[in-house]
Amino acid sequence: MKATGRLHDIGQSLWLDDITRALLDSGTLKRDIDELSVTGLTSNPTIFDNAISKSGDYDAEIRRLMGQGQSGEALFFELAVQDLSRAAQLFAPVHQRTAGVDGWVSLEVSPLLAYDTQATVAQAKALSKKADQPNLFIKIPGTPEGLPAIEEAIFAGVPINVTLLFSPDHYTAAADAYMRGLERRVAAGLSPDIRSVASVFISRWDRGVAGKVPAALQNKLGIAIGQGAYKAYRDLLDSDRWQRLENFGARPQRLLFASTSMKDPNAPDTLYVSKLAAPNTVNTMPAGTLRAFGDHGEVGAVLSRDGDDSAAVLAEFAKAGIDTAALAAQLQSEGAKSFVGSWQELLGSIEAKSKALA
């Protein structure tokens, strides 16, 4: 059995962080499902930008949509919904077999709406309705400005992938917004069975402290943060507040480890995947990391309920002068700006492609 299959068997979902029309048309995604135990998929503007700008796979559809008067952001969402709807249908058997726990795909709202709660919620509802797939998450950043939008979207019944989380505290804040939305649904006599995942980014931590810590601490911060987030996740599931919601029919917001490709060429390319094996969680990874793990990955001990040695490791980073709370805020701020930059690049690529095709 491949390492991906063994990881799946301990209860962790493997999702592919990639989507292209070629991936769908060639049957590659179907093979990943069948051979590498992939049970879901995430996307982001950079992925779509590369897919649209660096291939001709979308040209005919762009011409057709331009003929209907579509342009810019509206044209992009037409393309994205088409691709993600096809992917969602491939994952539909997993979604049904797991009673909605697994088999999800994700589509991001415009980051240009980050400071407008009502506009974010309106777009989340519109995209969810447009796709009309029961296993589609809408991605909303878990920034301080995004938390009210997450609560409102959950209250409105839209499944949400909370993205851009960097610390256990970020995770806890996102989980709180999720539960507030569910509690409001219960108070309104509505079902609290609205699904969600909370995505904690891993690799950017080690990139953020590269060259600033002793060699013995290299590539250890991201894993410690992930372990701490897992402890916070398990603590929340044991809380009276969550168990009251569960009694009304709510299902847990699953912890998702994102950005798990190794950026250090001198480190094992599957390090983050191996070290963050944990039941009832998700790991989303780009195709290269997925295939590397299927080829030579190792599944060792699963994360412990209490986060293994994360507290001790974080104490070592504190001694080395790393303020993890400040760094978490910095990484989230930089990530939000990067999302905007990627979005603008995507819209620029669509404009350039549209002009070329016209």
23 contacts: CB under 8 Å, gap ≥ 6: 29
φ, ψ (nearest 5 deg) of residue 302 = -80, 160
For the chain, the distance separating the N- and C-terminal CA atoms, rounded to the nearest angstrom, is 50
Residue type at position 15: W
Half-sphere exposure of 312 (CA within 13 A, CB side): 4
**H helix and E strand count, the chain:** 16, 8
**Residue 255, beta-bridge partner list:** 198, 281
Half-sphere exposure of 173 (CA within 13 A, CB side): 18
The C-alpha atoms of residue 256 and residue 219 are separated, in whole angstroms, by 19
Virtual torsion, Cα 225, 138, 34, 233, nearest 10 deg: 30
By annotation, the residues acting in catalysis are 139
Q: How far is CA 341 from CA 238, 345, 348, in A?
A: 39, 6, 10
